[in-house]
């Protein structure tokens, strides 16, 4: 084999390896839209050592000085995120063949800049929460702590399923084989009645999450997160994409079905979060706050999950 053939073979093998590794990372084609980017976000990036050191220092000594040091680090981390997204925007302006991708990234850049103070405050609340400890993201009884929430709450690992809802409402029916699908076509009132039933059964207080609690539990939706949206195939079991976890460690926060919250919009509708199987990927983002539904309505792509208030904290 001559040198030119060797070189061509080497290039081909490198390209095949690159494409293969990208294709193995996700199932959802929409999740691959930036698969060749050098600035792609990882599904759940590890905290850098500087941030870990600041958190550890604050936990040893929750002084104003250590709090300020942690906040400076959080601000630096966030500003680095802004810089990466701005770099992604510039890359897309040069290379994207579809203007819609540029427009989407511009919307995200505008959003992260406008939301800077709010998101830094959420991160600080999460990092300084006394329940933040190793293993906090591991479900033991089906619930996980929502770090940073103003009222200490645990959130359900997954949305309420058909089988779980049927235990509450004996007149409720659903297609055979869909026990583990999220329950949909339930109104806010239905969800609240389920919470009341669960509270009476367990002797603990269950309710719908507020929008802020839901966002803290879900955390930021990374670009390479894989979930059920835009595929046109309908609902899937809540565990179908269990490899994709929210900040709390819960699953199915994004896609599959919208989730009711207990937060009202200015027009009297109720905020829903997370997107659904028939939603554009952009609408599934945690930070997307323009979606709501009538409180009295029930919808084929809206379900819910519950939170449990923590006593004694």
**8 pLDDT higher than 80:** no
pLDDT of residue 86: 95
Encoded tokens for 105: 């990234």
Taking alpha carbons only, the member of 153, 222, 224, 159 closest to residue 186 is 159
* DSSP secondary structure string for all residues of 222-257: -TT---S-SSSS----TTTTTTSB-TTS-B--SSSS
pLDDT of residue 4: 41
**16 pLDDT higher than 70:** no
Structure-model confidence comparison of residues 98 and 269, the more confident one: 269
pLDDT band of 134, cuts 50, 70, 90? confident
**58 pLDDT higher than 60:** yes
Write down the CATH number for the domain with range 143-309: 3.90.1580.10
Mean pLDDT lowest among 20-29, 64-73, 112-121: 20-29
**113 pLDDT higher than 50:** yes
**14 pLDDT higher than 60:** no
* Burial class of residue 109 (count of CB atoms within 10 Å of its CB; 0-12, 13-18, 19+): middle
**34 pLDDT higher than 80:** no
Q: What is the C-alpha separation between 154 and 313, in angstroms, rounded? A: 12
Cβ atoms < 10 Å from Cβ of 191? 26
**40 pLDDT higher than 50:** no
Domain parsing of the chain, residue ranges: 27-127, 143-309
Q: What is the C-alpha separation between 182 and 306, in angstroms, rounded? A: 13
Range 107-118 average pLDDT = 92
pLDDT band of 45, cuts 50, 70, 90? low
pLDDT digits 0-9 by tens, 241-293? 999 999 999 999 999 999 999 999 999 999 999 999 999 998 999 999 999 99
pLDDT of residue 15: 33
Encoded tokens for 198: 């669960």
Q: What is the C-alpha separation between 157 and 245, in angstroms, rounded? A: 10
**223 pLDDT higher than 90:** no
């Amino acid at each position: 084999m001559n040198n030119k053939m060797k070189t061509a073979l080497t290039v081909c093998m490198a390209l095949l390896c690159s494409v293969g590794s990208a294709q193995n990372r996700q199932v959802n084609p929409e999740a691959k839209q930036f698969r060749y980017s050098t600035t792609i976000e990882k599904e759940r990036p590890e905290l850098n050592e500087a941030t870990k050191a600041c958190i550890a220092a604050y936990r040893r000594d929750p002084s104003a000085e250590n709090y300020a040091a942690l906040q400076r680090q959080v601000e630096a981390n966030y500003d680095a995120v802004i810089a990466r997204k701005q770099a992604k925007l510039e890359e897309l302006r040069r290379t994207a063949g579809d203007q819609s991708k540029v427009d989407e990234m511009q919307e995200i850049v505008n959003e992260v800049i406008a939301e800077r103070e709010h998101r830094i405050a959420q991160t600080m609340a999460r990092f300084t929460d006394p329940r933040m400890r190793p293993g906090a993201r591991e479900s033991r009884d089906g619930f996980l702590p929502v770090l940073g929430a103003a009222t200490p709450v645990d959130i359900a690992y997954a949305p309420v399923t058909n089988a779980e809802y049927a235990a509450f409402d004996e007149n409720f029916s659903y297609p055979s084989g869909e026990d583990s699908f999220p329950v949909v076509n339930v109104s806010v009132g239905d969800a609240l009645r389920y919470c009341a039933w669960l509270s009476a059964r367990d002797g603990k207080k269950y309710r719908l999450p507020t929008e802020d609690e839901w966002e803290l539990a879900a955390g930021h939706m990374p670009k390479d997160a894989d979930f059920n949206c835009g595929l046109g195939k309908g609902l899937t079991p809540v565990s179908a994409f269990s490899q994709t976890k929210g900040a709390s460690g819960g699953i199915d926060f994004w896609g599959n079905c919208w989730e009711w919250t207990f937060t009202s919009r200015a027009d009297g509708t109720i905020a829903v979060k997370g997107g659904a199987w028939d939603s554009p990927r952009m609408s599934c983002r945690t930070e997307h706050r323009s979606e709501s539904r009538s409180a009295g309505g029930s919808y084929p792509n809206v379900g819910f999950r519950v939170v449990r208030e923590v006593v004694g904290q």
